[in-house]
């Protein structure tokens, strides 16, 4: 195992995750601190988090993942910050790679004025943001096709370089100027074990599709009509089933790929509904 010389905070966002959180926490106990941003759990999530000496921060004002991630950013005390979802696990190989990366980081100091006095700024060559590949295990099967592998997720950041997260639905990180904006990729994957049933997925789709439809509506999306519905469904089907070959993952691959088509349809149907008002 690599020796860690830089500190790391792990931020986990959770609400009623008692069925997932313990498995997640077991894989990040090596970090300098673990923060659980809780958005209103009424099950045993907080109790389990405290069992693993996590710092629980109740935050009920946030409305989306950007808000929750930013709260974690503001409370983290370490040099680096790693975002992990409650249904994800960090493998030993990924742990060692993360420790190696953060320990080898060294500011590239550049002297601004050598004739008067030493004045230095952080150089732009250093990577300060990393994306982690993710193994998705859905409906009991690991999906390697359909666009679900390698499924890179931007999760590891030098804390002082991360300005914050933006976006109400598909959140994205923003880095401060003066830092390298390139997002490098780690080699070892995290594990994403979704324990949701299809009923759970439908419930989540109903919530998030409403938000996405409102965003499309507010952005002035063209009026939905039959050609646009057909085009949107066909495009999603073509990407999942033809281009990314979801059928190679067997029945689960086909079911989940078709579910993505359904999810896209629900979003556009809700957009159509908004446009009728």
Q: Residue 4 has what DSSP assignment?
A: P
pLDDT tens string 7-43: 999 999 999 999 999 999 999 999 999 999 999 999 9
Residues 6 or more apart from 198 whose CB is under 8 A from it? 139, 259
Q: What's the sign of the alpha-carbon dihedral 245, 246, 249, 250? A: negative
Residues 152 and 32 in one domain: yes
pLDDT given for residue 170 in this prediction: 87
Give the integer Cα–Cα distance in Å for 238 and 244. Answer: 8
Asked if residue 121 has pLDDT above 90, the reply is: no
Residues 12 and 136 in one domain: yes
Among the candidates 194, 224, 255, a domain finishes at 194
The number of residues in the chain equals 277
| 36 within 8 A of 55, measured Cβ to Cβ | yes
Residues 218 and 188 in one domain: no
pLDDT given for residue 126 in this prediction: 84
Asked if residue 114 has pLDDT above 70, the reply is: no
CB half-sphere exposure, 119, CA atoms < 13 A: 5
Would residue 2 count as lying in a domain?
A: no
Token pair 């507010």 is found at 218
- Mean pLDDT score of the chain, rounded to an integer? 92
pTM of the shown model: 0.89
pLDDT tens string 214-244: 999 999 999 999 999 999 999 999 999 999 9
Q: Is the peptide bond before 150 cis (omega within 30 degrees of 0)?
A: yes
| Percent of the chain's residues with pLDDT above 90 | 86
Residues 156 and 22 in one domain: yes
| 191 within 8 A of 88, measured Cβ to Cβ | yes
Count of structural domains within the chain: 2
Q: What is the CATH number of the domain that holds 19?
A: 3.90.550.10
Select from 163, 6, 27, 24 the least CA-distant residue to 100: 6
Residues 64 and 79 in one domain: yes
pLDDT given for residue 117 in this prediction: 37
Model confidence band, residue 1 (pLDDT cutoffs 50, 70, 90): low
Model confidence band, residue 116 (pLDDT cutoffs 50, 70, 90): very low
């Amino acid at each position: 195992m690599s020796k860690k010389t830089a500190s790391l905070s792990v931020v986990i966002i959770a609400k009623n995750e008692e069925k997932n959180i313990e498995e997640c926490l077991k894989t990040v106990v090596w970090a300098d601190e673990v923060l659980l941003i809780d958005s209103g759990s009424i099950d045993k999530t907080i109790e389990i988090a405290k069992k693993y000496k996590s710092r629980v921060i109740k935050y009920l004002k946030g409305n989306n993942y950007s808000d929750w991630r930013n709260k974690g950013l503001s409370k983290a005390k370490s040099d680096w910050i790693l975002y992990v979802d409650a249904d994800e696990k960090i493998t030993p190989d990924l742990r060692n790679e993360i420790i190696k990366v953060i320990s080898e980081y060294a500011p590239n100091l550049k002297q601004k004025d050598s004739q008067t006095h030493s004045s230095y700024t952080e150089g732009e060559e250093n990577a300060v943001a990393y994306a982690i590949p993710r193994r998705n295990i859905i409906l009991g099967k690991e999906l390697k096709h359909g666009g679900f592998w390698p499924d890179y997720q931007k999760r590891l950041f030098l804390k002082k370089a991360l300005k914050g997260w933006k976006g109400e639905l598909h959140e994205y990180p923003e880095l401060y100027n003066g830092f390298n904006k390139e997002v490098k990729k780690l080699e070892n994957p995290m594990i994403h074990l979704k324990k949701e049933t299809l009923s759970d997925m439908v419930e989540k789709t109903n919530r998030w599709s409403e938000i996405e439809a409102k965003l499309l509506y507010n952005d002035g999306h063209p009026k939905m009509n039959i050609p646009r519905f057909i085009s949107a469904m066909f495009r999603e089907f073509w990407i999942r089933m033809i281009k990314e070959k979801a059928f190679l993952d067997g029945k689960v691959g086909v079911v989940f790929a078709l579910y993505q088509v359904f999810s896209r349809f629900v979003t556009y149907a809700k957009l159509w509904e908004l446009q009728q008002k």
